[in-house]
Amino acid sequence: MSSPTTYRRKPPWIRTQLQARAEFGQVRRLMRSQELHTVCEEARCPNIHECWGQQRTATFMVLGSVCTRRCRFCSVETGLPTELDHAEPDRVADAAAKMGLRHVVVTMVTRDDLSDGGAGILVATVEAIRARGDASVELLTSDFAGNREALGAVLASEPEILAHNVETVERLTPTVRSNSSYRRSLDFLHQARASRLSGTKIKSSLMVGLGESSEEVATTLRDLRAVGVEMVNIGQYLQPTRNQQAVARFWAPEEFAGLRALAEDLGFLHCEAGPFVRSSYHADSQLAATDQRADSRPAERPGP
């Protein structure tokens, strides 16, 4: 694998042209005025100009900006958080209302320092968003360190989508993710699928380009379907800074097309796969597409 201090030259399909738009500045000013964090900025998402500028949407990140884990792929600041802002849910809801969002995506930094892992703030955020309108909500959560009560509390808020990312294949998990377990993530997703109280859809995402094989990715997709995951996103890992793990290789667009076809064959309601796909990429249209497919499919039970 490449040294984490060097960059691989990006192929043509990875390069993007940034277009300055007034909407981008409007979203940025709104986030600053509300003292909010977004994963778009903290994780250096390559789609930020498209989402903020063209689509005028964003993925809110709650529970502060300091994560208690140190995953090798992530540029979010790590350490021991000192804040728990109980007014944050209302500010997220206000910002979402001002942006006119019909589908609100909320993620979080991992908070292993909290007894509930931060579940209470997530629930309060869902409640605040619902109090201001009828927008759908997608939550992208940590594994709450295996705390099933925390998961149950979040499910009880009945988000339209509950997501937890497996991130990478099982073999690479110990070196790529911090204080995490591939099997614990699968158990989390299985419990979410089995315990949901309404029509909440279960979603996960993973990156390629960290040194995994095609068969390992296929196995991961089969594992996700076996525990009842209905939506999956697959994107190219891009090294955020020289401090993170280097890219092992760039997957070609046709390889992503193959992964999408495999996911559809495995029975996922929706799969988004491509070089720039991230967890919340085109989240609103994904929900609409998934709803259409779910309406035409007979009810199923999650795997063991």
| Whole-Å CA distances, 207 to 165, 166, 211, 216, 265 | 10, 9, 10, 12, 20
pLDDT, averaged across the chain: 85
Residue 172 zone, left/alpha/beta (φ > 0; ψ -120 to 50; rest):
alpha
Give the per-residue pLDDT at 146: 95
Provide mean pLDDT across the span 44-65. Answer: 65
Sign of CA dihedral 247, 253, 254, 257: positive
Lowest mean pLDDT among 53-57, 96-100, 248-252, 265-269: 53-57
Band the pLDDT of 82: cuts 50, 70, 90: confident
Lookup: tokens for 54: 């063209």
- Grouping H, G, I as helix, E, B as strand and the rest as coil, residue 269 is coil
| 158-194: pLDDT as tens digits | 999 999 999 999 999 999 999 999 999 999 999 999 9
Which residues are paired to 140 by β-bridges?
Answer: 107, 163
Give the per-residue pLDDT at 73: 87
| Whole-Å CA distances, 213 to 13, 169, 170, 251, 303 | 21, 9, 11, 11, 25
Evaluate if residue 135 carries a pLDDT over 60.
yes
Lowest mean pLDDT among 8-17, 31-40, 82-91, 248-257: 31-40
Domains and CATH numbers, the chain: 19-293 (3.20.20.70)
Band the pLDDT of 100: cuts 50, 70, 90: confident
Band the pLDDT of 101: cuts 50, 70, 90: confident
213 versus 12: which is more confidently predicted?
213
| 235-287: pLDDT as tens digits | 999 888 888 899 999 999 999 999 999 999 999 999 999 998 888 767 667 77
Q: What is the DSSP letter of 14?
A: G
The residue assigned the tokens 């795997």 is 303
Give the per-residue pLDDT at 11: 84
Band the pLDDT of 300: cuts 50, 70, 90: low
Residue type, 287: L
239 versus 125: which is more confidently predicted?
125
Residue type, 102: R
Please give the angle made by the CA atoms of 226, 139 and 214, to the nearest 5 degrees: 40
Instruction: Record the pTM.
Output: 0.86
Band the pLDDT of 4: cuts 50, 70, 90: very low
- Grouping H, G, I as helix, E, B as strand and the rest as coil, residue 146 is helix
Give the per-residue pLDDT at 6: 44
Give the per-residue pLDDT at 3: 39
Is 17 buried (19+), middle (13-18) or exposed (0-12) by CB count in 10 A?
exposed
